[in-house]
Amino acid sequence: MATMRDPEGGSSLQAEAVGPLTVRRLDVTDPSTYDIPDDLRVLVNNAGVDSEYLPVEHANLDDWRVLFETNVVGVVGVTSAAIPALRANHPSVVCNITSSSIIASVPFYSAYRASKAAVSMLTLQYAKAVPEIKFNAVEPGYTATDFTASSGGGRPVEESAKVVVRVATIGPDGPTGTFQEDIGELPW
């Protein structure tokens, strides 16, 4: 099953799926759309918004709130709603999509980087608080998607998805509380 704010956009997912794929509406900023299946074993938190020009020195608080509501509070909301099903379906995994760009020195994308740093810290906290579920942060790399279209470039989605699939399919003895990318675990 895949979820997205606009399920109409799921037609390309269904065409590329290996097997049958159900696409449902889920807006991470709207808890009334959190319809978590009872048999959930893997949760990939990938929702996000971005704004290149939300500098910390001239903060537009309304824009920062929208970004954090989606990128951070949405992760908490969906994860909290999913924990009962994930606990019931051991082994289970949560992959929080984040970014290693949180340590980059360029002066833009401040809000995005701050939100991804928060997601990374949430991953660690969940791993400690809910040890029966594997929680890992995943850096998929700069990927060519609708999300990154305005800045151009990026590698194919299929390439970036490999690390997500690898982490999402770890077994019961797999890592938890880690930050993963293509080459393996990154240091915190």
Domains of the chain: 36-186 (3.40.50.720)
- H helices within the chain, ranges in order? 11-16, 61-68, 74-88, 110-129, 157-168
pLDDT in tens, 119-159: 999 999 999 999 999 999 998 876 656 665 566 777 777 88
CB 94 within 8 A of CB 46: no
Largest CA distance in the chain: 48
What pLDDT, on the 0 to 100 scale, is given for residue 157? 75
pLDDT of 51 over the 70 cut: no
pLDDT at 109: 72
Candidate from 11-25, 30-44, 76-90 with smallest mean pLDDT: 11-25
User: pLDDT confidence of 7, banded at 50, 70, 90?
Assistant: confident
Q: Whose CA is closest to 182, among 119, 117, 138?
A: 138
> From its phi and psi, is residue 141 left (phi > 0), alpha (psi between -120 and 50) or beta?
left
Instruction: Look at residue 107 in the predicted model and tell me its pLDDT.
Output: 59
Record the tokens describing residue 37, joined without a space.
């299946």
DSSP-derived secondary structure letter, 188:
-
47 pLDDT exceeds 90?
A: no
| Residue closest to 79 by CA, chosen among 40, 115, 23 | 40
**pLDDT value of residue 149:** 56
Query: Tokens for 178?
Result: 């880690």
pLDDT in tens, 69-78: 999 999 999 9
CB 42 within 8 A of CB 92: yes
Cα(161)–Cα(141) distance, rounded to whole angstroms?
9
Strand partners for 180: 138, 185
For 80, the token pair is: 């909290």
Top mean-pLDDT range of 61-70, 80-89, 91-100: 80-89
Top-ranked range on mean pLDDT: pick from 80-84, 95-99, 152-156, 160-164: 80-84
pLDDT band at 8 (very low <50, low <70, confident <90, very high): confident
Integer Cα distance of 181 and 184 in angstroms: 5
Mean confidence (pLDDT) of the chain: 85
Q: What pLDDT score does 160 carry?
A: 83
pLDDT at 41: 96
